[in-house]
Amino acid sequence: MNLLVFMLSTLGVSWQNSIFEFSAIQGYAVIIQGEFYRLFTSMFVHNDIIHISMNMLSLYMVGRIVERLFSSWAYLALYFISGFFGSFAYMSMTLYDGAVGASGAIFGIFGALAGFVLVHRRTMQQQFMQFMRDFGIILVINFFIGVIFPNIAMSAHIGGLVAGVIGGFIIAKNVNNLWIYIVISTLILVGVYIYLPSLYLSFN
């Protein structure tokens, strides 16, 4: 789906601008105008070939591991819920700026793997230390990329990462906790949605 949307966006500048305009996550459009579909569409649109290449490579490397450790349904839930939390984290920082990309969801998948490793750290001590070292390197690199390229939505990365770590930790303890994670996440997202208009008033 990500690749299909990206190919459509390369048909011309007008196509690219239109897709971005109607798909990007933006606080005013989602919260004030009620365009909730952007919570989904923004995860399938990317700025350029480098953006989508990095995201798809990361998703391929980590996604298949997470799907194997949990389940296909858990993987999808972690992906979309992390993406939603990333979007809401981004919208809590800005009202009018738009952003696209699956980075929040992908960082959630990284986070889910971290949550799994935390749960099973006693039975995989060597792998735990190696993973935490590699995970730390990824976070540091991402931080510096955010400093160098200020247009990157760091808040979305952080929001997705936190949601993924919590989800991975909960589900790794018991796969039946998936529905608990989905329900709690939904309630939190609804609560944030209700709160955001009052937050936007403080921006003015």
Catalytic annotation on 157? yes
Structure tokens at 5: 């949307």
Exactly one of 82, 103, 155, 185 is catalytic; which is it? 103
Residue 120 designated active-site? no
Pick the catalytic residue from 82, 155, 157, 185. Answer: 157
Active site residues: 103, 157
